[in-house]
Structure 1
Amino acid sequence: MEKKPFKKTSKFFKREGFYVILFVCLCVIAVVAGVTVKNSKQVRNKPIENKVVKKDTSKDTAKAVKQPTKSYENALQVKKEDENTKPKTEEKTQEKDTAKVSKQVQPKFIKPVEGTIARVYSEDPVFWNSTSSYRPNLGMDIKTNLGKSVLAVEDGKVENVVSSSQDGVKVIINHQSGLKSVYSNLAAKTNVKKGQAVKKGDVIGKVGKTTLRSAYEKYGDHLHFAMMKGNNYINPSKYIKY
């Protein structure tokens, strides 16, 4: 009687044992799968990697921004220095070149006639015996002999020949350098005509007695010589020395 329940239980485990073991295995697999999924979610939600990436990116970006800015500022400074330096250098070069050109272009004049200075250039009024009046002398009166040859002081072109004026017969020569020479109180017959090219030292006429302005000055026979820059009279003693 006592052996019957044990036999029944043993038969039950033999018959249903396979299903029990299968159930237990499925439970273990389910637990393992659940733990695995939970761990994978935690790994995905970790914020450490994002923080590291953000920090590295910001540092690299900051460095990248700073470096072009510095080079750009340096470029501006170099450009400003070049702009400030170049004009000064160019101005100095231009001044030197202008000085060289002016020295080369500046002609050397000769005396228009042999003689001595009787009256100097004066923009202030001076007394004239011939007219008993005061007026400027916009040239120099050179005391010399009647009939003395008058020479062109520099190469040029005869701009005009005036046969009648208060200063007498007058020849104007343009020297193509902004300067003109004027020869007055010449004899009636001149050696040149308007438009004629002349060389330095060419005889353009003779000293005469055709002036009305200074016909009775105490120094007597003379050549009235003047120089002009453009249309303005200038002091001829700057170019011709007696």
Structure 2
Amino acid sequence: MNQNRWKKLGDFLLGKGFYIVLFLCVAAMGISGYYLVRSVSGGETEDQAVTGNPTVVLPDSSAQTAPKAEKPAEKTPEQKSTVQQEKDDPEALPQTQAQDQTTRDVVYTWPVKGELLRGFAVETLSYDQTMGDWRTHAGVDIAAEVGRKVWAAGEGTVSEVYEDPMMGVTVVIEHPDGVVSTYSNLAADPLVAVGDTVDTGAEIGAVGETAIAESAMEPHLHLEITKEGAALDPVSLLPDQL
């Protein structure tokens, strides 16, 4: 009986059983080979991070790295100041442009017509009839009867109107060329106020007798001219003829 069993097993192995055993052997070898390859190559595991932006360099490509972006040139302090100013006030102009628009030549005229009683003297002394001594004189005194009209020597803007303790009622005009003209010994109640814009020859008031410091002289207009704070001889800006 045992012989029959071994005979049947031998027939099975030589028949269909041979192919089943062969299939199992091939499958076992495939599974073993798969795990062997993973262990040798150290394949990725689920816990390993995968880079999102892999870099690929072609062997014949000259562009190995991306070009660096040029850094914009930094603004100078003056440019920063100008930019900030434009942000604060979009209508504001740089100082040089504003000066070009406001500075221009001015045509001057005599504020009154009359004899020159006392001239300009800042480097030498001249006799003062009222004070009875010798002193400098930063303007000119032009003879004119009380009530005579006084005109603006040039176009500009009235910056001051006041009564000086020594020189009496006074009007100050700033001109577009940087010159400032001052009219003293005026009658009370001038015709202009601070902020008024006047043209050359515009009436600003009348000759008065309000200057205590020059009260010993005959009626006149006291005129002073300055530029950038320095006194100038008014005659140098006025026409030759009175």
8 Å contact kept, 2:167–2:210: yes
Q: RMSD in angstroms over aligned alpha carbons?
A: 1.6
**For residues 163-242 of structure 1, what are the structure 2 equivalents within 5 Å?**
163-217=163-217, 220-240=218-238, 241=240, 242=242
For the residues of structure 2 that align with 1:158 and 1:230, how far apart are their CA atoms? 17
How far 1:177 moved relative to its partner?
1.2
How far 1:196 moved relative to its partner?
1.1
| 1:104-141 per-position Cα deviation (integer Å, ceiling 9, x unaligned) | 93322011011111111011221112111211111110
SS of corresponding position for 2:159: strand
SS of corresponding position for 1:223: strand
**For residues 91-170 of structure 1, what are the structure 2 equivalents within 5 Å?**
105-123=104-122, 124-170=124-170
SS of corresponding position for 1:163: strand
Q: TM-score, normalised by structure 2?
A: 0.55
Structure 1 counterpart of 2:156, which letter?
A: G
For the residues of structure 2 that align with 1:224 and 1:160, how far apart are their CA atoms? 16
For the residues of structure 2 that align with 1:143 and 1:226, how far apart are their CA atoms? 15
SS of corresponding position for 1:237: helix
Q: TM-score, normalised by structure 1?
A: 0.55
How far 1:199 moved relative to its partner?
1.2
For the residues of structure 1 that align with 2:174 and 2:201, how far apart are their CA atoms? 15
Structure 1 counterpart of 2:130, which letter?
A: S
**Closer, same or farther: CA 139–167 of 1 in aligned 2, 3 Å:** same
How far 1:148 moved relative to its partner?
0.2
8 Å contact kept, 2:158–2:173: yes
Q: How many residues align?
A: 138
How far 1:189 moved relative to its partner?
1.1
Structure 1 counterpart of 2:225, which letter?
A: M
How far 1:165 moved relative to its partner?
3.0
Q: Which has the larger radius of gyration?
A: 1
Structure 2 counterpart of 1:207, which letter?
A: V
Stretches of structure 2 that go unaligned for 5 or more consecutive residues are: 1-99
For the residues of structure 2 that align with 1:171 and 1:215, how far apart are their CA atoms? 19
For the residues of structure 2 that align with 1:223 and 1:234, how far apart are their CA atoms? 17
Stretches of structure 1 that go unaligned for 5 or more consecutive residues are: 1-100
Q: Which residue of 2 aligns with 1:59?
A: none
**Closer, same or farther: CA 105–176 of 1 in aligned 2, 3 Å:** closer
How far 1:153 moved relative to its partner?
1.2
Q: Structure 1 segments of 4 or more deviating over 2 A?
A: none
SS of corresponding position for 2:164: coil
SS of corresponding position for 1:213: helix
8 Å contact kept, 2:104–2:176: no
